[in-house]
Amino acid sequence: MQQDSGEPAIDLSLSTDPEIGFATKILDEVTRLVSPLKVRYLVVGATARNIQSVGLMNEVPDRATKDVDIAIAIDNWKDYDRISRVLPRKGIHQHKFEVLGAEVDVVPFGEIEDENREICWPGGATRMNVVGYREARESAMAVTMPSGSRISVPSIAAQAVLKLMAWNDRRMYTSKDAVDLRSIITWYSEGPFETELFDRHRSILDIYEWETVSAGAHRLGEDMANLLSHRHAYQMVLDVLENQATMDTLAGSMGFDPRTNLQRIRAMRSGFVSAGAAVSPHTPAA
């Protein structure tokens, strides 16, 4: 699976999935509106999950979505103001817009982040954790949509980081990120990921007595850690994974069998820790 260079990693040009059709219409209009600003955006959230589900796993998305989330790297808040002037705002929230009747959330990241990988919206009223967005941009996958347009989505591992951190931030009022993370963990033992497990990672299969989903979860954890070249970002994700009470809550929020979910979360954490030694402790926070 290639990154956002060369040939597209995901080809949805022939897709007739209604969720993909909905996303295409909205994203094409977003592109039309922001293109004069020379803005490149990353599609995240449930829309990215749907694209990956259909394009990589050949699966119908687990749940529908009627909004679209994108992330944009900016150098300063003036850049965001310029984007805000071309997208129709929805309500009072600074990051919510409306395009062709659909809600579009625009998450900024980049040089506006502080040392804790957070952004603070002008006025100081709202803070947002953006760990994983830089890494998602750097490892992005290119997608061809049914209209022929090209967009970018996070890699599966980057998507897992974003979903884990999003769940940690808003777990008190929604479980959707946990449900999405359960799907992502399962993907890592299916299709091309299953083939990779059997071709290249039999030692990991041995560890988990050839229980492929747990072995895939371990591999996912390794790939998540390998994305996080900055020690501070790695540590923030590790802090979430090593909080047992938090992981018990996550397992319960994923649906189906919490005990099985917890087993797979622990396998993911094990892979994350085993690969974490490669993360330089001297690398400054991004």
Position 1 scores a pLDDT of 36
Position 269 scores a pLDDT of 97
Number of H helices, E strands in the chain: 12, 9
Using a 10 angstrom Cβ sphere, with 0-12 exposed, 13-18 middle and 19 or more buried, the burial of residue 61 is buried
The residue count for the chain: 286
Position 123 scores a pLDDT of 78
Position 3 scores a pLDDT of 39
Position 157 scores a pLDDT of 96
Per the rule left: phi > 0, alpha: psi between -120 and 50, beta: everything else, 116 is: alpha
Query: Using one digit for the tens of pLDDT, what is the confidence trace for 227-259?
Result: 997 788 999 999 999 999 999 999 999 999 999
Q: Spell out the residues 6+ positions from residue 247 whose beta carbon is closer than 8 angstroms to its own.
A: 241, 262, 265, 266, 269
Tokens of 130: 């953006």
Position 121 scores a pLDDT of 86
Q: What is the pTM of this model?
A: 0.91
Strand pairing partners for 72?
Answer: 41, 108
d(CA 232, CA 228): 9
Residue 130: alpha-carbon gap to chain centroid: 11
Position 7 scores a pLDDT of 42
Position 197 scores a pLDDT of 94
Query: Using one digit for the tens of pLDDT, what is the confidence trace for 41-64?
Result: 999 999 999 999 999 988 887 666
- All residue ranges of the chain with pLDDT < 50 are 1-7, 282-286
